[in-house]
Amino acid sequence: MSSFNHEISLSSSSLPSSSSSSSSSVLPSSLSSSSSSLPPSSSSSLPPSSSSSSSSSSSSSSIETLNCQISSSLDILDVLNQIYPFIPNSNCIRPSEAVRELKKSRFQDILDKYDSFEDYILHTIFNKNVYVLKSTFKRKAIDNNVINLNKFYPNEFPYNVVGNHWVMWYGTKEQTKTESEINNDIYNAITTHLKGNTNFNFAWYINPKMTVPEYFHVQVFWIS
């Protein structure tokens, strides 16, 4: 997202471009030895092997490609992080007091400048033009017709992971796409961002406590 250290132009053309594109049941084989340490209700939520898995490699120590949804359970994240360092563990996703205060200040700054948080998302994520309300001098999006859009952006407050922490945003309040469709959207967005390079690995989950509920979005962790 754009920084508010300076005023944002009312034209969306000045905003940074983004990469855009229009429950799982079993463990990856590399984690099968770890599943016994998980709570009985958790092991079924770990991701399946991707069809593009590197397990077909002659090297028995190769790490499988995920490219799929994972559970947001802290127990499962801790197990996955041991094999895939680009996935956060329970320590990574607990914000410090300083980060919590920074986010609180940032959100207030946004609400001081925009008529609503939805207008901020429409402007900075979906590139909708805005106008200034005469009564409050706050910015308001000209329209909210983004129902068929998705946008891939870096997370403004990324977790401390080895790799990248981005967000796939959708133009609906509720989830309307299947897990497979979201997988494809993320795969295509990363491929576009890497200019056609498909040598990457990603995992995503739905945050159970979304700080921005106005538009459905998923947390994406990836490495290339």
Q: Are 75 and 38 in contact (CB under 8 A)?
A: yes
Q: Over the stretch 75-114, which tens digit does the pLDDT of each residue have?
A: 999 999 999 999 999 988 877 788 888 888 999 999 999 9
In this model, does residue 68 exceed pLDDT 50?
A: yes
Average pLDDT of 67-72? 95
Q: Name the average pLDDT for the chain.
A: 78
117-124 and 97-113 helices cross at what angle (nearest 10)? Answer: 90
Q: Quote the pLDDT of residue 57.
A: 34
Q: Over the stretch 148-200, which tens digit does the pLDDT of each residue have?
A: 999 999 998 888 888 999 999 999 999 999 999 999 999 999 999 999 999 99
Q: Quote the pLDDT of residue 54.
A: 38
Kind and range of the H or E run holding 222: strand 217-223
Rounded-to-integer distance, Cα 103 and Cα 35, Å = 35
Q: Quote the pLDDT of residue 79.
A: 95
What's the predicted TM-score (pTM) here? 0.73
Confidence band (pLDDT; 50, 70, 90) for 49?
Answer: very low
Q: Quote the pLDDT of residue 62.
A: 60
Rounded-to-integer distance, Cα 159 and Cα 163, Å = 10
